[in-house]
């Protein structure tokens, strides 16, 4: 999938994993639908009910700071979120996103230009974000990381390697 | 000539080079690291389910896996109990020696006490506070559950060699000011993302003067600064502590290491940055200028002097966690509550970071001090830190806590405020029923045993 197109959900700086996916659920919720239902529960209670596949989260600096919980990324994946575009990411969220096949794109200029609930397009082949405010280039992902995303995440990616060597 | 001569290396470069089996690495290089220790806790059952997708019957690295049950202990619900049971079955099936049961304590504290991690080693953990192990000069970084599953299966994971930042503390801390206040000062000044992706190396006479327990606070709190890892150079005290603990653990596990051999092994593994290594930034602090600080809701970088929010009513005070649940923290708090009563309308929860801390605190009479004052003692573990296990605040309540995180909903309730401070401020606030600088605690709030009021009757008369 090289083109992602969807509506934007815009949030501010330092959005932490406790409001993306509350810690009280981390050891007990295991079903995809259940995990999806609690996405952004303490940040934007309307999100999970309204989000559509392909929608894009647009955030300020340090999106996903806090816990290492992977559900902060998977709760978005299970809702069909197409990508997260941020001014910067917390490092564990960034890894968790890519490792689950969720595009995490660093592009502060686009973040500054994008309005809430507008429809934007992300072109992975050209490394460009197209929104009402203009066209913004973002740094390409490294080949190995792109390989992980294209495989659908780290586990399917490594599965192939493990199968090949055993 | 060694490979690093002429190219001075940071601690992070040295640790990741060793872990990747390379003579040296450049900043920004992506390496396949082979960590010495892979940490997980109550999340191990979920990790096991991911690992099973690889179709292996045995994990590749049973001896490198370390696990604790600490996040919701003892199990509060059937689901949590099933989760623990699944983990125990996995531990038995895979022969995981470094497994620590419910009640032993918080992963970072226990693995430190047990010398499961050694100076210079790389530990990757499915826990965001894994930078903790920097207190002993190890490279600790948090990773996700899928990544831990991949490590169990393959023993290796890609890591980018981070830029390093130096934070220097000169001089010694004034009385009543602790490592926690220093950490809050740094995060307050530079922001919750001030250390994003970086390796933070602490240095200076102020760090060298700190107890090991105080040093543990700093790399631990750096998780709230966005870092990949943090580092304090291991000194003679660190090496002696770890060597002694290594002897103790290996003896218990039936393969005792002689004291001399343990000392040699531990010292040989320690890593120190080269003079002239590259730092993206250097920040210097004067210890004498620091004061008791507090992080206000709902962000760890919303830091102000305690005096600025003094008088704010607190319904709950919580002393514990991997940040500030050690013996010296309990000692400081016990000295404040001794002979006093917790304020009516305020609950004080004390949760030692480990069973060892609990045992020492019992022996030294601190637990009696807390109980006499009306405090609640919890099972060693994370307690209410992340809203998974009791001590959950009601909506609109205020908690003052010695933990590391005050995000909205962190303790399980969205509309509840969390303030973060050092253990003395937490204990004094429990006594006053409101946020207070311990130096301003009224001498009158000390009650003699004869006048002592039953704390329960006070609460009932509310
Ligand atoms: S005490 Fe809190 S911060 Fe530390 S490991 Fe437990 S939940 Fe995490």
Beta strands (DSSP E) in B91-138 are: 98-100, 122-125
B392-445 pLDDT, tens digit per residue, is 999 999 999 999 999 999 999 999 999 999 999 999 999 999 999 999 997 766
- The domains of chain B are located at 12-19+27-159, 294-452
Residues of B in contact with A90 (CB under 8 A): 193, 196, 226
Could you tell me the CA-to-CA distances from B183 to B135, B222, B237, B249, B323 in Å, in that order?
13, 7, 22, 31, 11
B155-183 pLDDT, tens digit per residue, is 999 899 999 999 999 999 999 999 999 99
Expressed in angstroms and rounded, the spacing between residue B385 Cα and the centre of ligand 1 is 6
The superfamily (CATH) of domain B12-19+27-159 is Aconitase, domain 3 (3.30.499.10)
pLDDT-derived band at B243 (thresholds 50, 70, 90) equals very high
Question: B51 pLDDT exceeds 80?
Answer: yes
Res B446: pLDDT: 64
Res B267: pLDDT: 98
A99-137 pLDDT, tens digit per residue, is 999 999 999 999 999 999 999 999 999 999 999 999 999
Q: Express as a percent the part of chain B with pLDDT over 90.
A: 92
Q: Measured between alpha carbons, how far is A94 from B355 in angstroms, rounded to an integer?
A: 35
pTM of the model: 0.93
CATH number at residue A146: 3.20.19.10
Expressed in angstroms and rounded, the spacing between residue B71 Cα and the centre of ligand 1 is 7
Residues 19-58, chain A, touching B (beta carbon < 8 A)? 19, 22-24, 26-28, 30, 42
Q: Do domains B12-19+27-159 and B294-452 have the same CATH topology?
A: yes
In a mutational test of the B interface, the residue from A23, A88, A166 whose CB has the highest number of chain B CBs within 10 Å is: A23
Residues of B in contact with A161 (CB under 8 A): 154
Res B454: pLDDT: 46
B356-373 pLDDT, tens digit per residue, is 999 999 999 999 999 999
pLDDT-derived band at B5 (thresholds 50, 70, 90) equals low
Q: What would the CATH number be for the domain defined by B294-452?
A: 3.30.499.10
Do B405 and A66 lie within an 8 Å CB cutoff? yes
Number of structural domains in chain A: 1
How many A-B residue pairs are in contact by the CB < 8 A criterion? 132
Question: A166 pLDDT exceeds 80?
Answer: no
Q: What average pLDDT does the segment B455-459 reach?
A: 42
Q: What average pLDDT does the segment B335-343 reach?
A: 97
Res A85: pLDDT: 97
Closest CA to B245 of B229, B262, B230: B262
Do A27 and B54 lie within an 8 Å CB cutoff? no
Q: Measured between alpha carbons, how far is B248 from B271 in angstroms, rounded to an integer?
A: 23
DSSP string, A86-150: ES-B-HHHHHHHHHTT-EEEE-HHHHHHPPTT-EEEEETTTTEEEETTEEEE-PPPPHHHHHHHH
Q: Measured between alpha carbons, how far is A157 from B172 in angstroms, rounded to an integer?
A: 51
Res A108: pLDDT: 97
The closest CB to that of B153, out of A18, A28, A162, belongs to A162
Residues 326-345, chain B, touching A (beta carbon < 8 A)? none
Res A26: pLDDT: 86
Do B146 and A96 lie within an 8 Å CB cutoff? yes
Q: Which residues contact B53 (CB under 8 A, 6 or more apart)?
A: A155, A159, B149
Res A79: pLDDT: 97
Residues of A in contact with B192 (CB under 8 A): 14, 62, 65
Where in the sequence is the domain holding A70, given as residue range(s)? 3-165
This model of the complex carries an ipTM of: 0.89
Kindly state the DSSP code that residue B109 receives in the 8-state scheme: H
């Amino acid at each position: 999938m090289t083109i992602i197109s969807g509506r934007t959900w815009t949030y501010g700086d330092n959005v932490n994993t406790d409001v993306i996916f509350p810690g009280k659920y981390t050891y007990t919720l295991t079903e995809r639908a259940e995990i999806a239902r609690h996405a952004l529960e303490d940040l934007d209670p309307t999100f999970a009910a309204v989000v559509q596949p392909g929608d894009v989260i647009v955030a300020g600096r340090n999106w996903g700071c806090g816990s290492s919980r992977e559900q902060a990324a998977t709760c978005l994946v299970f809702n069909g979120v197409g990508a997260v575009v941020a001014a910067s990411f917390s490092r564990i969220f960034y890894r968790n996103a890519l490792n689950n096949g969720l595009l995490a794109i660093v592009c502060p200029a686009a973040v500054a230009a994008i309005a809430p609930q507008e429809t934007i397009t992300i072109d992975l082949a050209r490394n460009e974000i197209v929104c009402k405010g203009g066209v913004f280039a973002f740094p390409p992902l490294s080949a190995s990381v792109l390989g992980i995303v294209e495989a659908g995440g780290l586990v399917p990616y490594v599965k192939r390697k493990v199968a090949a060597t055993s | 000539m060694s490979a690093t001569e002429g190219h001075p290396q940071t601690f992070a470069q040295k640790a990741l080079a060793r872990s990747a089996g390379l003579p040296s690495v450049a900043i920004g290089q992506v390496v396949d690291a082979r960590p010495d220790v892979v940490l997980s806790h109550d999340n191990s059952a979920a990790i096991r389910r991911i690992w099973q997708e690889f179709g292996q019957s045995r994990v590749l690295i049973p001896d490198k896996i370390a696990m604790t049950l600490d996040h919701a202990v003892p199990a509060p619900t059937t689901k949590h109990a099933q989760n623990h049971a699944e983990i125990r079955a996995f531990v038995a099936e895979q022969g995981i020696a470094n497994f620590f049961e419910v009640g032993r304590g918080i992963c970072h504290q226990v693995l430190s006490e047990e010398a499961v991690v050694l100076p210079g080693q790389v530990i990757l953990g499915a826990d965001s506070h894994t930078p903790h192990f920097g207190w002993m000069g190890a490279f600790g970084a948090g990773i996700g559950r899928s990544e831990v599953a991949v490590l169990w299966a393959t023993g290796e994971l890609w890591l980018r060699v981070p830029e390093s930042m130096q934070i220097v503390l000169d001089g010694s801390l004034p009385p009543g000011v602790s490592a926690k206040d220093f950490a809050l000062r740094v995060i307050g000044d530079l922001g919750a993302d001030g250390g994003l992706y970086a390796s933070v190396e602490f240095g200076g006479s102020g760090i060298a003067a700190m107890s090991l327990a105080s040093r543990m606070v700093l790399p631990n709190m750096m998780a709230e600064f966005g870092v990949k890892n943090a580092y304090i150079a291991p000194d003679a005290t660190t090496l002696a502590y770890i060597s002694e603990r290594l002897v103790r653990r290996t003896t218990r596990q039936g393969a005792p290491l002689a004291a001399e051999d343990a000392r040699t092994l531990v010292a040989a593994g320690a890593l120190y940055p080269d003079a002239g290594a590259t730092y993206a930034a250097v920040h210097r602090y004067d210890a004498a200028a620091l004061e008791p600080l507090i992080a206000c809701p709902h962000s760890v970088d919303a830091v102000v002097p305690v005096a600025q929010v003094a008088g704010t009513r607190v319904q709950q005070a919580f002393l514990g966690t991997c940040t500030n649940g050690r013996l010296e923290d309990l000692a400081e708090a016990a000295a404040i509550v001794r002979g006093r009563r917790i304020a009516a309308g305020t609950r004080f929860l004390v949760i030692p970071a480990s069973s060892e801390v609990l045992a020492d605190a019992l022996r030294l009479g601190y637990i009696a001090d807390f109980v006499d004052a009306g405090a609640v003692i919890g099972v060693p573990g994370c307690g209410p830190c992340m809203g998974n296990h009791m001590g959950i605040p009601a909506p609109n309540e205020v908690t003052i806590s010695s933990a590391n995180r005050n995000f909205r909903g962190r303790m399980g309730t969205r509309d509840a405020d969390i303030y973060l401070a050092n253990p003395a401020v937490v204990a004094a606030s429990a006594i006053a029923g409101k946020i207070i600088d311990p130096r301003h605690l009224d001498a009158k709030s000390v009650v003699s045993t004869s006048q002592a009021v039953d704390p329960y009757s006070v609460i009932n008369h509310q």
